Every structure is written in structure tokens, then in C-alpha cells.
Structure 1
């Protein structure tokens, strides 16, 4: 498979079987995004296996609190730890397979895995976005058989698998000619020295070759005209530079030409679409996260979406999901989403930013909720359109929105205190929620490079909390335990997955009501089929707050009651609050410091 042409793939033996069905509604799912190289190597001990039994056969123990920071005791140690973060660390498909129980017990229903296809062998492209062979799994991660086994076991445990993929570019598979001193985009192609061999040197002809570890595969990608050869992007928003330029050293692929409705796909795009159809059929995947959709022609993205959706439906996956990474403002994102025919947008800086700073008590809550209110301005007649059209979250693997000041949510004391509230808010507000790996353990990476957002969960030389030698798969931690309880309520409550959403007014005296401000109780309702669920976080990390909260007057009679279904103060659970005729209808609730409550 490593060196064949994509056009030679025989799908008949791959599709002659039953496939795992798609979910009825993706807003019911809870996604978990992980960098495979940084998640698990399978050598941990002292955690619970997929059946919930203690594992005692591994070699890496659980990280003790007193061992945090053990990798940076001296500047020499710190330099080694930082250097380790720029290289392959050792996470594998089999390692992930051993942690499916950890994810399932947390409440995750779909795992989104960073790209796993074969990378350029001469670089430390552990992130997976520098593909050299689109028909092979990178040996650092394992084998294609291990991918298939992982998906099969995940399906058996009620967890779907979404694979991160790249269409826009390949790895640094060729070099520009020596006399090109600074290959930045300027609107014309640069001359090429040749394809790179396994050592990275441009010794191979810029055309058909037979070296499986050199150039690029499948063979269709070696044909003339596959690459734009335009040099690297400098202005990431200037047209057509952001479409035709290279991502730093990654090489931009010419995907086709023409208007969106009359687009002619290039042979390279046809080959790539065939490669990903192969992986869907071979591994029984449930969805794809498509990288850098903003940097692709809309016609190319639309062609790919059509081909993949039709193929998935032909094998019984009626709701196979394509999640498009579209950076920029939401109107641009949703306009692009609609025109290309993909299913949900991801990477919206507005959503990530407003969510983080709302929970930390430093942003007006209306800023976040208003992102989901004006669907009419987006050309939709109900804000519930957004329930399955946007993937929501706040941490990720590159944090483009923060520029050079990259930091996980829990990187400071305030973030540590508010970590549970952030996850609770994310998984119970509108959209398809996505947790970034390690958030449930309050990982706290920060620094001027993406690597610091990509700590290893399994220990090794670049362990979490600036450590080495200890894993953090701890199911006894407060955040992990409470998130599991919250997600159990979410599973049992349709309104928390599909309901309309309203920010609610509050009052301290029961007379004067207004929308919440900073460091206060932030309540909202989800309403589905005449059933209202009231939720609230407290953005004050130190003090509990008791407030009157407005609820729907048409759904609740004065004198009726709401019951606390969940609270970070478990003593509140089961207690009733009486509906009173204040500001229409209101109830008096108490939310613990940095806490979260659910009433219905």
C-alpha cells in the first residue's frame, strides 16, 4: 500500500461488511481532542484499564504532586525538557486503545485524533500535519491494523473516532532551488531543485520516483502541476496568498480551479479524496476533521465534502461528519461552511475567547451568549441551527488567537480554580462540545511555543506539569470526577444537548433584575419541548453567591418547584427551590465559589 497509486485501490473487499452507524445527532456527542504523540505510550501503571481494573504491569507510575516540576530543577534540566517537547515523545495508537476506558468513564463519546499518516522522515513532525505518504500510517504511531483495532474497540465501548486530516498541503517534500534565498509568496511559482529523499536532501527528480521514503505518495502527487510552488505565506488574510502559499515549510497542493459551483478538481485532489475514502472504509471511521479549510478553494472543499458524504452514505454512515477548521470571524466561517457543504465549523476565535474570559470573570457574559443569538443575521431563523454547526471549546493545540502568549486555561491560579466551571459551561451550552486532552486533569502548559500546550499525559521526557517519569491518568481527581457526573446528567437530559439557550437575568434583592456582570452568578436556560433546565456557574473563585434568577413564566406556575439535579456542593442535590412571581417568574439559588449547578 505504501507506494501504490490511489487510483488502484480496490474498494470492494473493504466495503463488503457492516459498518458502525452514524449518530442520530452530533450535538448529543462529547468530543475529546488529543495529540496522539502526547497522549499515551501504553507503558503506564497504576491506572484503571478499559474494564475498570487496576493495571500493575506497566513501568511508568502515576505522577505524585511532589514530583511536579522535577524536570526543571536546574537550567540544564529545563533545557532538556524543553528540547524534548519539540521532538517525537512516543504516544501510539495502542497507547490510546488502553485508555478508552479512561475516556468512556469521563463521559467522552467521540475521540478526535490528530493526523496519523506517514510524516516526512527527516523532521520531528510529531504533530502529524506534514504528510509524506497519504496511504500509510506513520510507524511512530503504529500500524494500520492497530488503527483498525483501536476503532473497533472504541465502537464496542460506545466511543466514535474522528480522524484529523490534511488536504491543503503535504509535508516539506521538495526544496526550492538553491538560488531562492527567501521563498516568500509573491504571486509566481518558484523554481524547484527536486523532491527530498529520506534524509531531507533534494536529490530526487521533481517528477515520478520509486523511493517509498522520499518524495510524496500516492504516485499521483508526483505528477507535474500538483504543487503551487508559490513560497510561504506572509500575509495570512490576503487573497490569493492565503490560498496558494505554503504553510511555512509545508508545501501547498494545487487542488483545482473554477468557481465554487463549476469547480474542476485537480488529479491531486481526486487522489487525496480517494485516499481518505480508503481510510474511512478500512478503519470504519465516524468523521473527519478537515485542516485549514480557510486556505482551500471553496470549490475544492465542496468537491471533497460531496465525495466523502456520498461514499459514507453508500456504506451506511448516513450522518458521517465533516468538521471544518475555519479560522476567522463566525460570519465568514458559517458562510464558508454553507458553501462548501461541510457539517460543523471549528477554530472560531470569538467562541474560544469569549468562553475563556467569561468563565474567568473578566468578560461580559452577553458577549458569549450573543454569538449564538443572531442566527437570523447568519441567514438562519433560529439560534438552534448552531447546536450542531459549531464545535465549541477553549483550549487547543496551537491557540492562534493568543499569538505568542500561549497558555492553557489552567496555566494560572485563577484557571486552576475555574477549570471545572469552564468544562461545565462548555459541555452544557449550545454547540458540539470538545475537550482538549488533559483539561480534565488541569494541565497548565504555557510558553512562547505550541509545544507547551502539548504536554504528554504519559510522562516520558516531556511530562505534564514540567515533569518527567510520571503519568496523569488520575480518575480520582476532583475535576475528572465532577465532569463525569455532569456528563451523566447531560446524557440523560435532552434539553442539555438540543435545547434553545437563553442567558437569564439575576437579582440580589428579588426586585431589581439585570444581566450578570463580572465575578457573579451566570445563569442560563436550555429549553426543549416545553421543558426548561436552569444552569449556572459562579465566576467568583472565592465566594459563594445567592441570587434570584429569572425563568420562563410560561412554563412555571408560581408555587411550583425546581429540583437541584447537580451541584459542586453535593449537599444541595435534591433540594427544591420555589418559583415566585418576581420579574415574571424567578427562583432563589446558591452557587458555590467557582461552582456549577443544574436545576429542572
Structure 2
């Protein structure tokens, strides 16, 4: 009888501590002991919750902030030197405890702070989860999300999910990629176009049509078992119109407001550093909205900035991430996003973050990389380790369709791009790519010309930087954004759905597997990716390039121990090149092996290279 009373009393006590009462949300839901970020701002949300006092006997409360919306209260606690455990915060009214909430500090994973991010030894495989593979059809449509699955709609939900990625990690590993960048997986509850997932409605929740937070952890663990790295696509500039915080703002200045209600960004990112720019134009870029469904967030609001900083760190720690890709980096308040980036890098000094800076001039892109000489002119440092090489992307989209060399067409575009590397503080930490989820498919641009695909892939896999591939390019997938819209460049990967007529995840040797053409693309990609994986000279060696002649581009990657000679013949003619011109790169090497054809070569006098052909020659 006494034991029963004890159980009842304990149960009531435990319930009272964890009773939500007026707390509908608490974010972050927990934190970790031993973090560099020890001053944690906890957002509590509930009806008129600001009317309460918040006290704790367990943990120091540094600050309590209220906003114009009484449904919010922000409590900053000090977790320094606190052991893992449960810490109770009491909500009091008239001196009496109305309810209490437990905030947990978890034990941090060993070595978490020193985790290494992705780097130039990696090849990143970019996929859109909704279009890659459907591993769990049961979550295609859920009761708490608006848009239902409709695979017949190119701009609709198709059902791909986290389980689909897990199910095909062997495919990505076989291909030779070493990291996965998935477009955002957090909840996007827009009524239409929600598969895009850049209009997020909950920053602490995986979209249930993709799976659960725990599924994301499973993906990370499964990838790490295979030596693969996981990169999260993070959005700081805008949220979705259905975000629960947007629907009941803590204060009006959490988003950029306009008298007319909505004003689209002018997209002129140059106004961020143009000393001559009119203030109205700079404001029009930074504060304008991407779309009516994407409210533009005001990162200069310190509560919002702390919210998104903690959220990013929370996901890195929770999901054991290896990197972030930050969407529309250069549209944020530049001082605030620099602070956001620095806070994350202070927490994880060996981490990597790549920002989308979609500009068409090397100096302008360089402005956004950490320790930029260009940024220093205006006293700015973004603290952003990596940026995307959009000028190389621009060149790749045209130069392989330019068969005849002249002063500014053909392979000279590649040469000129790398000639501007002096502008970057760290050229090896640039993401290089032929295409992604926002651009025309490379094989559409090349009209399914496999030789042109070989030239482009050879270039991005052997030059400086971190290569990124877009899912399906390795099997020749097509997509025409200009005429058919985004859905066409984001087609379903064949075989990712039960009942697909063909499965490109499987070899052509298997019935119903890849077509002959798909296998040709795959085999070439696989061969170079797996060779690259084992050759550190390509990861970190110096780049020596020669001015292209007759649309033939030659460059070397080299270090103290190894040298690789790359030849890209972009002309319609066979060529024989005199090796004497390349003596600086060849040094005393007289023999080599073309790893593409496995052919041994004599380099003493000349090299024959067929039309529209690449060579990757390891020197012996």
C-alpha cells in the first residue's frame, strides 16, 4: 500500500514538472553540456505566456525578454560548467508556480567540437529527396501536411524520402561520391510546390513526408558507416509563409515589412558592397522578398539571429553533420550573417560551410569568402569558408559548345576563370559544378553529347576546388528549365519508385537495369570519381595551367610527390601537341598513363589526342 502511494506521488510530481500548461512550444527542445555556445536563448510559446515570471533553482537565468506579442517569452540560461541532466524552469504568477518545464542538457558526443567538415578531397552528390527515391510510401501523404503526393504533377510532391536515400547509399558509394548534399528536408507546409522545401514551416522538424528527425539521424549514421559525409542545406534568408512563427510573429521586425505588404527583391547583390549604391537599392535587395510565400527574415533582429544560430548548431550536433550549404547567402543582412557564420565556426573550428553566392564576377564572389582581400577594402569579413564558383559554371555552360577557338570562346574561358584565382583567399575551398537543381541539366545543354559530358566532368574533377555532381547527370538525365520549368530538371530518378519500368540504380547487366547509354555515362563517372578518391594531388596539389591553343587546354596538378597532366581537346579535330612546351609541368617525367583509357604513353616529344577527348595522365 505504501509503495502505491509513493508511485502516485512521484507520478504527479513528474507530470507537474513536464506539464506543458501554457507552453505550446519550447525551442530549442534541448541542448548539450560542454558546448562553446553556453548562453542559450530558449523560446517559450503559449497563450499570454509573457504574463508569467520565470525562475529556476537549477540553472542560472541571464536574461528574460518579452516582445510586443504576449504569446512569447525568451529566456536565456547559462549552461557553462553544467553537467548533463534535467534543469527545471518554473513559470510563476503572483508568486505561485503555475507550471514548470524541464530543459535537458544532453551529453555531447566525444570529439564533436573537433569534427572535420567536407573539403577538396570530397566529391559532393547533390540530390532532391522528393525526386530521388521513395523508400517509405506510407509517408507520401500525411494528415498534418497540406500538399498530397501527385507524381503526375511536375511541380508537386512525388514521394521521395529519407528512407529512399538510405536504401541507395550503396549506389552513391559505388559511384565514388564521398558526400551528400540534400536540398532541405525540414518541414515545408506550403499548399503547393512544397517539395522545393526552401519555404520552411518548422526549423526543428523534418518534413513528415520525408520521415522523422530520428530518420535523419539514421541517415547520418548509415552514411558515416560508409565513410560518407552529410551536408545540410540551410536557409537563413527566408522562411515559408506557413511557418508557425510567421503566422504569429513575436514582433513585426522579425521579417522585413513593406508599406504595400509585399515587395520582391531586386536581386542586385552588388548593392551589398557597392560604395556608390543608393540606399533604396541596397534595401531593395536585402529586404525584398524572394516570393510571396517566402517572407524575408530580418537577421539584424538579435533574437532572430540567436534563434537561427542556435538552430543551425542544434542540427549539426543532433544529426552529426559534416557541413552546411547556405541558400542565398548574399541576400542576408551581411553583418548579421557574418556573425551567424562565425558563431558556428567558433563552435566547430574544422567544420565547413559553403554559401550560395550566385554572381557572375570573381571579385564579387570573392567578397563573400572568409578573409577576402576584396572584402577587406570595405572592412568586411564574412567568415564564410567556402563559396560556389558560379563563374566557372557560367563558362562550362557554353565553352564545350564552342568548337573553334578564338580570343574569348572555347577553352580560354576556363583559363581566364582560373587566372582570377588570385582574388580568392582559398581557391581550393570553392565548390565547382556543371549544374545543380536550379540550372538546366548539363546533358540538355550538351544535347546528350557524351563526349562533351566527358570534357566537362574531367575538368571539374581534376581542377582546384570541391566538385559537386547533380543526381542523374551520371546516367545522362535531361531537363529543360527554360521551356519546361523546374520540374523538368528535377525529374524522378528511374527506379526510385516501386513499379518504375526501369531501374537505373542497377547495372545494365541486370534485367531492367540501366540502358546501354546510361551505363556508358555511369561507368565513365564512376571510374574518374574512384580514381580521384585515392589521389591526394588532385585534392590539394597546386594548379599550373597553359594558355589554350587550337581549343586544347593543358594543365597540371602537382605537389612534391606526384604530378598529373590533364589535356582537354575541345576542338572538332585531332591534335598532336609538342611536349617541349609543357616542360615546366612535365619536369623530367618521360612516361605516363592515361587513367581514362588505361593507356601507357611516351611523353618525350609529342602527344596525340583525338577530337573532343579528355586525358588524365599520371606521370611516371
The verdict on a shared fold, with TM-score over 0.5 as the criterion, is: yes
Partner of 1:253: 297
How far off is 1:101 after superposition? 1.0
SS of residue paired to 2:231: strand
Asked if 1 retains the 8 angstrom alpha-carbon contact of 2:230 and 2:322, the reply is yes
How far off is 1:527 after superposition? 1.9
Q: Distance in 1 between matches of 2:419 and 2:435?
A: 23
Are 2:124 and 1:31 equivalent residues in the alignment?
Answer: yes
Partner of 1:562: 591
Partner of 1:333: 365
RMSD of Structure 2 on Structure 1 (CA): 3.0
Aligned counterpart for 1:548 among listed residues 572, 578, 583:
578
How far off is 1:530 after superposition? 6.1
Aligned CA distance change for structure 1 residues 236 and 557 (closer, same or farther; 3 Å): closer
Partner of 1:516: 549
SS of residue paired to 1:28: coil
The one-character-per-residue Cα deviations of 1:134-184 (angstroms, maximum 9, x if unpaired) are 0111011101111000000101101000000111111123xxxxxxxxxxx
Aligned CA distance change for structure 1 residues 444 and 232 (closer, same or farther; 3 Å): same
Asked if 1 retains the 8 angstrom alpha-carbon contact of 2:118 and 2:322, the reply is no
Asked if 2 retains the 8 angstrom alpha-carbon contact of 1:393 and 1:435, the reply is yes
SS of residue paired to 1:478: helix
How far off is 1:543 after superposition? 5.9
SS of residue paired to 1:598: strand
SS of residue paired to 1:152: helix
Aligned counterpart for 2:256 among listed residues 216, 220, 228:
228
Asked if 2 retains the 8 angstrom alpha-carbon contact of 1:31 and 1:108, the reply is yes
1:3-14 equivalences under 5 Å are 4-6=25-27, 9-12=30-33, 13-14=105-106
Partner of 1:184: none
Partner of 1:289: 325
Q: Distance in 1 between matches of 2:247 and 2:387?
A: 29
Aligned CA distance change for structure 1 residues 42 and 536 (closer, same or farther; 3 Å): farther
Aligned counterpart for 2:504 among listed residues 462, 465, 472:
472
Partner of 1:596: 615
The one-character-per-residue Cα deviations of 1:29-58 (angstroms, maximum 9, x if unpaired) are 1111111111111379xxxxxxxxxxxxxx
How far off is 1:99 after superposition? 1.0
Are 2:412 and 1:366 equivalent residues in the alignment?
Answer: yes
Partner of 2:390: 349
Q: Distance in 2 between matches of 1:245 and 1:443?
A: 35
Q: Distance in 2 between matches of 1:35 and 1:452?
A: 13
Are 2:229 and 1:160 equivalent residues in the alignment?
Answer: yes
Aligned CA distance change for structure 1 residues 460 and 475 (closer, same or farther; 3 Å): closer
Are 2:235 and 1:216 equivalent residues in the alignment?
Answer: no
Partner of 1:104: 173
How far off is 1:132 after superposition? 0.7
Partner of 1:502: 544
Q: Distance in 2 between matches of 1:153 and 1:278?
A: 20
TM-score by length of 2: 0.70
SS of residue paired to 2:256: coil
TM-score by length of 1: 0.72
Partner of 1:396: 436
Which has the higher relative contact order, 1 or 2, with Cα contacts under 8 A spaced 6 or more apart? Answer: 1
Q: Distance in 2 between matches of 1:22 and 1:366?
A: 39
How far off is 1:3 after superposition? 5.6
Partner of 1:584: none
Q: Distance in 1 between matches of 2:584 and 2:433?
A: 32
1:36-435 equivalences under 5 Å are 36-42=129-135, 84-173=153-242, 215-216=244-245, 222-230=250-258, 231-233=262-264, 235-237=266-268, 238-249=281-292, 250-256=294-300, 265-312=301-348, 318-328=349-359, 329-338=361-370, 339-346=381-388, 348-362=389-403, 363-376=409-422, 378=423, 385-388=426-429, 390-399=430-439, 406-413=440-447, 415-435=449-469
Are 2:618 and 1:577 equivalent residues in the alignment?
Answer: no
How far off is 1:483 after superposition? 1.8
Partner of 2:68: none
Aligned CA distance change for structure 1 residues 124 and 459 (closer, same or farther; 3 Å): farther
Q: Which runs of 5+ in 2 are unaligned?
A: 1-19, 34-104, 138-148, 269-280, 371-380, 404-408, 509-518
Q: Distance in 2 between matches of 1:289 and 1:552?
A: 38
Asked if 2 retains the 8 angstrom alpha-carbon contact of 1:556 and 1:579, the reply is no
SS of residue paired to 2:456: helix
Asked if 2 retains the 8 angstrom alpha-carbon contact of 1:89 and 1:460, the reply is no
Asked if 2 retains the 8 angstrom alpha-carbon contact of 1:245 and 1:252, the reply is yes
Asked if 2 retains the 8 angstrom alpha-carbon contact of 1:460 and 1:469, the reply is no
Asked if 2 retains the 8 angstrom alpha-carbon contact of 1:548 and 1:589, the reply is no
Partner of 2:569: 538
SS of residue paired to 1:86: coil
The one-character-per-residue Cα deviations of 1:431-454 (angstroms, maximum 9, x if unpaired) are 111001111011111143122111
Q: Distance in 1 between matches of 2:208 and 2:29?
A: 23
Partner of 1:65: none
Aligned CA distance change for structure 1 residues 550 and 119 (closer, same or farther; 3 Å): farther
Partner of 1:439: 473
Aligned CA distance change for structure 1 residues 282 and 267 (closer, same or farther; 3 Å): same
Asked if 2 retains the 8 angstrom alpha-carbon contact of 1:566 and 1:599, the reply is yes
Q: Distance in 2 between matches of 1:18 and 1:481?
A: 39
Q: Distance in 2 between matches of 1:517 and 1:502?
A: 19
Aligned residues: 471
Asked if 2 retains the 8 angstrom alpha-carbon contact of 1:408 and 1:446, the reply is no
SS of residue paired to 1:303: helix
Q: Distance in 2 between matches of 1:160 and 1:251?
A: 31
